[in-house]
A and B are shown apart, each in its own frame.
Chain A
């Protein structure tokens, strides 16, 4: 049974750095072909693809966010960490992490709402 859960702050101030952790079970990111992605959704708006990290440490980032993003994995802890610098109110969204066997997302976490406000 595959599960994922996002954790991190619910409120960050403008210009601060956001760090979110995705803790998962039921699979290993050392398994060839697997990956974990990050997707966000501003309140009442559409899904936005953010980033993806593969089993082999290949990273893919949204070009519009790339300069602010870092995604890393800790295979021993079954965790993936998303870091986003210089947060702005427009970054207010529910952030999801999701399992991917090949770039499409099969299992999703419940998401965590991050509000950017002073």
Chain B
């Protein structure tokens, strides 16, 4: 199985400031045949199902605010919230979907400082 490890486990950022969440995979999730990274990011608020934010490591899902961006390749990825808003308080998960099982990271809790 590909193990996904996120850091930090929790993060407190001031409103309007940048938040950065990291995700590292135990094996590369870059598929050489199409040069695509099989990596997604989700946001989960309390009592709600997860919501897809980013797929293919950097493609923003329709309707997701552009303050959310994804970057990285191979084994190291980052989700950035450029200017934190109150509604961004949530737990964020990365997921690799290159090889089954399509494992999730342990989650990063993002809070307001």
Contacts and interface: CB of A to CB of B under 8 A. Distances in A.
Q: Are A and B a genuine interacting pair, yes or no?
A: yes
Interface of A: 37, 39, 46-49, 52, 60-63, 96, 98, 102-106, 108-111
Contacts of A106: 52, 61
Interface residues of B, number: 22
Central interface residue in A37, A39, A96, by most chain B CB within 10 Å: A39
A103 B96 CA distance: 9
Central interface residue in B1, B52, B105, B106, by most chain A CB within 10 Å: B52
Contacts, number: 56
A105 B52 contact: yes
The interface residues of chain A, by DSSP majority, are classed as strand
Contact of B100 (A47, A60, A98): A60
A49 B102 CA distance: 6
